[in-house]
Amino acid sequence: MTKKILASLVLLLVVVAGVVYATKYNSTGSSSNDKLRVVASYYPLYDFAKNVGKDKVLVSNMTPAGSEPHDYEPSAKALADAQKAPVFVYNGGYMEPWVSGFLHDYKNTPVKASDGIDLLSAEAEDNPAEKVQDPHFWLDPVLAQKIVDNIRDGFSKADPANQDFYAKNASDYKAQLAKLDDDFRSGLSQCKLRTVISSHDAFSYLGKRYNLDIASIAGLSPEEEPSAAKLAELSQLVKDKGINYVFFESLVSPRLADTIASETGAKTLVFDPIEGLSDADQKQGKNYLSVQRENLQNLRTSLACQ
């Protein structure tokens, strides 16, 4: 009789432990800890998610460090693993080629970064007659604050017990983005030039926010290369406006910017669309805010601002 009771107790314990383990596993998507598991499709969304979730989330980036998210395709294994994440953060414009297929099967909490943002339209890569939604809104520090709100709301929905924590972090990070916006506004208020030659067409939102004319060498994605006529037109623009710097970006070859610079006697500088940071940059502590500050410095140099 005692043996039977003991056996029942042991069985009960095993069942209870199993239920506790299963509940924990399902609510966080992680068997090893209590953190909310989050997958972001590419770097800036990953950086924003880490700032909102801090030590209560485990964020992974689907686009490896140093890869260009416009044309990156994750492996089948990475996609299957991301399907299990309780939260998935993605752009919402014409950005990651794999996301629409992924969302078809995704059942947890998707966070569309562009929710509540009016997207600009741009020419499609393969067919200029077709209009697509320009995805580069994270580069505008005002719109970036809206992305942070969307991430906060997704985290609160998936993990309501910590919603006050996410709200506080989001508010702190938005204050830093608001300060960045102030610095761009004042830093670019008195400049000799307003025209920027950028590498690919990534700066329409930033240009609109700070009243800059952006002419880009490549199209909406960096692999969309310009014609010889387009390059000649840009060289003429550099000469006509007295532009002293042509921009290139960290993940793409500076070859075309160098061509225009050597034809016109201009120099080159980095204007980084922050589509991905290398491992070395991340280890050095670089992030969205620090690279935007470098962008501001380089813009001030190129536009001869006071």
Q: Which two tokens stand for residue 151?
A: 């991430």
End-to-end alpha carbon distance in the chain: 90
**Closest CB to Zn ion among 151 and 202?**
202
Single-letter amino acid code for the residue at 65: A
Q: Minimum Å distance from CB 301 to Zn ion?
A: 22
| Segment holding 60, helix H or strand E | strand 57-61
- Burial bucket for residue 27 (CB in 10 Å: 0-12, 13-18, 19+): middle
Q: Minimum Å distance from CB 94 to Zn ion?
A: 10
**Closest CB to Zn ion among 37 and 70?**
70
Q: Minimum Å distance from CB 276 to Zn ion?
A: 10
Vertex 296, ends 286 and 121: CA angle to 5°? 95
Beta strand ranges found along 161-292 (DSSP E): 195-198, 213-216, 245-248, 267-270
Contact criterion met (CB below 8 Å) for 116 and 183? no
**Closest CB to Zn ion among 91 and 150?**
91
Residues in the chain: 306
Q: How far apart are CA 23 and CA 17, in angstroms?
A: 10
**Closest CB to Zn ion among 174 and 200?**
200
Contact criterion met (CB below 8 Å) for 271 and 250? no
Q: Minimum Å distance from CB 69 to Zn ion?
A: 8
Vertex 41, ends 39 and 44: CA angle to 5°? 100
**Closest CB to Zn ion among 87 and 215?**
215
Q: Minimum Å distance from CB 223 to Zn ion?
A: 10
Q: Minimum Å distance from CB 226 to Zn ion?
A: 15
Q: Minimum Å distance from CB 34 to Zn ion?
A: 36
Which residue is nearest to Zn ion, using beta carbons? Answer: 202
Q: How far apart are CA 159 and CA 37, in angstroms?
A: 10
**Closest CB to Zn ion among 181 and 275?**
275
Q: How far apart are CA 179 and CA 145, in angstroms?
A: 11
What residues line the site for Zn ion (CB under 5 A)? Answer: 202
**Closest CB to Zn ion among 102 and 138?**
138
